[in-house]
């Protein structure tokens, strides 16, 4: 059997990792500034992570959501505390797309309305509702097309008001910072206005913090920069440092009932152990603060490089454009300088490293980038 050929692959295979480095079988070392699509939050093979996940695996890897699981309760309590959402409830699932499906479903159940408003260039995942709310027709199958999703231009509140005033919308979904679009910033004032108008029209505000959350922006969630509180927040990626997990943080205004949401694997023992290990390391190593400090250094230094265009971002969620091909630049960085970066479109490079990237590692990147031209 062959693999279904849907991924463009670099001819390179990391077989081990440590912190912000990965290694191929011949021992070649690569600086990882991409964390496998922004997933690696505490670094590869962190000892605290290995210990906690290993210990859990030797006790109990999985049991279903039909019995008590105190690891879930511990995760809910600690995530509530670290994020400032202690009064919200937690629903655990397995991926970012699944978190967004559940968020949109919950908003629709709650309001009795059918429509969701999303924004241009948004990416919310590849499952049915999530892909319909993703502004990329090439990945939306006819089966996924629905009149229940509409799009508005980002940072234009008037269009949002026009749509919401129809009273047909259950929710507005927006990323904390648009990631797949190439690190596209949401205006702080636009997000505050969005909070105000969603409240005015009784529409749930869903913050997709799957890429921008979990400390990456230098705050636990990117929207915290604006002081707003959404109704629903979705997380995945960094939450369990590579163990598949998604989460929905739900405001107290939503009432749970048995069977309303559910999943076989979501919140299983191993996933919870991985997520708890991530929070242990966040606390012990002040990772949100480190993301802020190292991110500010990187942003400052990148802005000094004359051939980089529109350096943007917050914390360790950084994007910049180049005049020529970003793919060529990324290939040169990878194969000649042994640095992994991310892309987005023809001209954009994304930097999404582990949150414990050190200043020395950031400096190494800047030096190599400066030496290119
Ligand atoms: C903002 C955002 N939402 C949702 C998703 C989908 O997450 P997953 O691939 O875990 O389904 C992604 C993935 O890149 C994302 O960046």
Answer yes or no: do 280 and 301 share one domain: no
CA–centroid distance, 211 to ligand 1, in Å, is 7
Work out which ligand 1 atom sits closest to the CA atom of 98. 11
Region 55-71 average pLDDT: 97
Ligand 1 pocket: which of 38, 134, 173, 236 to mutate (most atoms within 8 A of CB): 236
C-beta separation of 294 from 362 below 8 A: yes
Q: Is residue 1 part of a domain?
A: no
pLDDT of residue 373: 77
Domain hosting 69: range is 48-284
Answer yes or no: do 261 and 245 share one domain: yes
CA–centroid distance, 126 to ligand 1, in Å, is 8
Q: Is residue 4 part of a domain?
A: no
Q: Is residue 3 part of a domain?
A: no
The secondary structure of 200-262 as a DSSP string is: HTT-EEEEE-TTTTTTTTSSSSGGGGGT---SEEEE-GGGGTTS--EEEEE-TTSPP-TTSS-
Answer yes or no: do 248 and 119 share one domain: yes
CATH number of the domain encompassing residue 125: 3.40.640.10
- What is the Cα 207 distance to its own chain's centre? 11
CATH number of the domain encompassing residue 24: 3.90.1150.10
CA–centroid distance, 71 to ligand 1, in Å, is 25
Answer yes or no: do 140 and 244 share one domain: yes
C-beta separation of 250 from 88 below 8 A: yes
Question: pLDDT digit string (tens) for 297-334?
Answer: 999 999 999 999 999 999 999 999 999 999 999 999 99
pLDDT of residue 76: 98
The values of phi and psi at residue 118, to 5°, are -125, 180
Its sign, for the CA torsion 154, 159, 162, 163, is negative
Q: How many domains does the chain have?
A: 2
Q: Is residue 2 part of a domain?
A: no
Region 231-241 average pLDDT: 98
pLDDT of residue 304: 98
Answer yes or no: do 345 and 248 share one domain: no
Q: Is residue 83 part of a domain?
A: yes
Question: pLDDT digit string (tens) for 7-47?
Answer: 999 999 999 999 999 999 999 999 999 999 999 999 999 99
Structure tokens at 175: 């990323």
CA–centroid distance, 77 to ligand 1, in Å, is 24
CA–centroid distance, 97 to ligand 1, in Å, is 6
Answer yes or no: do 300 and 181 share one domain: no
Q: Of 229, 249, 284, at which residue does a domain stop?
A: 284
Residues within a 6 A CB radius of ligand 1: 37, 95-97, 100, 123-125, 175, 179-180, 208, 210-211, 236
Mean pLDDT score of the chain: 98
Question: pLDDT digit string (tens) for 267-279?
Answer: 999 999 999 999 9
Backbone dihedral region for residue 325 (phi beyond 0: left; psi -120 to 50: alpha; all else: beta) = beta
The secondary structure of 127-138 as a DSSP string is: SHHHHHTSS-GG
Q: Of 252, 284, 316, at which residue does a domain stop?
A: 284
Q: Is residue 8 part of a domain?
A: no
Answer yes or no: do 236 and 167 share one domain: yes
Rounded to an integer, what distance in angstroms lies between the CA atom of residue 305 and that of residue 161?
40
């Amino acid at each position: 059997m062959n693999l279904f050929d849907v991924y463009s692959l670099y001819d390179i295979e990391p077989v081990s990792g440590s912190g912000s480095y990965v290694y191929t079988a011949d021992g070649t070392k690569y600086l990882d500034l991409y964390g496998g699509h922004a997933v690696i939050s505490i670094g590869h093979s962190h000892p605290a992570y290995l210990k906690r996940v290993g210990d859990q695996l030797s006790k109990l890897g999985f049991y279903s959501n039909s019995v008590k699981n105190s690891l879930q309760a511990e995760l809910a309590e600690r995530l509530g505390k670290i994020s400032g959402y202690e009064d919200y409830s937690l629903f655990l699932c397995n991926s970012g797309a699944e978190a967004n499906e559940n968020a949109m479903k919950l908003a629709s159940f709650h309001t009795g309305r059918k429509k969701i408003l999303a924004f241009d260039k948004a990416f919310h995942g590849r499952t049915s509702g999530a892909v319909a709310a993703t502004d990329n027709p090439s990945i939306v199958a006819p089966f996924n097309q629905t009149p229940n999703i509409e799009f508005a231009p980002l940072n234009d509140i008037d269009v949002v008001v026009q749509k919401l005033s129809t009273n047909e919308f259950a929710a507005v979904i927006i990323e904390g910072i648009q990631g797949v679009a190439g690190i596209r910033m949401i205006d702080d004032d636009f997000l505050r206005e969005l909070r105000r108008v969603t409240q005015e029209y009784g529409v749930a505000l869903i913050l997709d913090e799957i890429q921008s959350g979990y400390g990456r922006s230098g705050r636990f969630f990117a929207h915290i920069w604006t002081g707003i509180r959404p109704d629903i927040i979705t997380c995945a990626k960094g939450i369990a440092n590579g163990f598949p997990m998604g989460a929905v943080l739900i405001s107290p205004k939503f009432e749970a009932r048995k069977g309303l949401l559910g999943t076989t694997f979501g919140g299983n023992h191993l996933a919870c152990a991985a997520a708890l290990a991530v929070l242990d390391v966040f606390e012990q190593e002040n990772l949100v603060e480190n993301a802020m400090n190292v991110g500010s250094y990187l942003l400052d230094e990148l802005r000094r490089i004359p051939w980089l265009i529109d350096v943007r971002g917050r914390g360790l969620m950084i994007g910049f454009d180049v005049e020529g091909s970003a793919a060529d630049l990324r290939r040169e960085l990878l194969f000649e300088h042994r640095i992994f970066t991310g892309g987005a479109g023809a001209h954009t490079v994304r930097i999404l490293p582990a949150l414990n990237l050190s200043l020395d590692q950031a400096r190494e990147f800047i030096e190599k980038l400066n030496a290119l031209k």
